[in-house]
Amino acid sequence: MKRQLIIATAAAAALVAGGTVTAMAVSGDGSGSARSGSPVSAQPAAHDAAAPSGTTQVQDSRSSIRMPDDDGQEDAREARAAKVSAPDAAAAALKAVPGTVTGLDLDTDRPGLVWEADVLGKDGKWHEVTLDAGTARVLNQHVDQDEDDDDADERATARDARTDAATAARTAASHGTVTSLELDDDHRSKAWEVETVTNDGKEHKLLVDTQSGNLDTAPAQDTDDDDNDD
């Protein structure tokens, strides 16, 4: 009876401490020996094994192209690393969300290199689609609930454009790799504003008319204004 009480007490102490104990058989003279193969393990509390509430982990949501920290040549480095071109990214975005692509941006906002595409869907909603810049696989997709005052103008420009995003990107590709593209309402004629970068790191900002598809160099008025302000 005394021997059983000692074993039970040792096991209970291990459970409280959260560890593992090997039960000891103690004889009446105080000597003892370990009972091999009789471990008693404490079970972890249920809340320790549970995932954080409200957190969803998607195992394959990262881009296949990992990028280092910015070293001052971010656009050129991203352009060289991307395996999916702007026209192909536009096509992939439209396969995910039928409608009209109104913007494309190559960046590393997420882990790895991605294309961020803005799509005015046939459902009348604005969609944001994130694509792997290495495989064109859709990594994320959601409806943008925020609409600004210029929304109606952008919708009209997208609806009336004869030159789509993919065509504008192919036109501008003669000046380097396209890294971003968006509808621009700031000019007299509606245009796609396209940014490209060449292998030597030189960046260009171009305009592709949404009606004629003609290519022009964007005026550097923003830089001039900043200089005059100084």
167-177 pLDDT tens trace: 999 999 999 99
pLDDT digits (tens, 9 = 90+) for 114-144: 999 999 999 999 999 999 999 999 999 999 8
Nearest by Cα to 178 from 187, 167, 162: 167
Q: What pLDDT score does 119 carry? A: 97
Q: Which domains does the chain have, with CATH numbers?
A: 2-45 (no CATH), 74-229 (3.10.450.40)
HSE, side-chain direction, 13 A CA sphere, residue 216: 15
In angstroms, how far is the first alpha carbon of the chain from the final one? 93
Q: What pLDDT score does 60 carry? A: 55
Q: What pLDDT score does 82 carry? A: 95
pLDDT digits (tens, 9 = 90+) for 52-73: 332 223 345 676 666 555 545 6
3-state DSSP helix/strand/coil percent for the chain, to nearest 5?
A: 30, 30, 40
Q: Please report which confidence band the pLDDT of residue 11 belongs to, taking 50, 70 and 90 as the band edges.
A: very low
Q: Please report which confidence band the pLDDT of residue 153 belongs to, taking 50, 70 and 90 as the band edges.
A: confident
Please check whether residue 175 is in contact with residue 182, taking contact to mean a CB–CB distance below 8 angstroms.
no
Q: What pLDDT score does 53 carry? A: 32
Facing residues of 182 across strands? 103, 193
Q: Give the predicted TM-score (pTM) of the model.
A: 0.66
In the chain, what percentage of residues exceed pLDDT 90? 49
Which position has the higher pLDDT, 223 or 145? Answer: 145
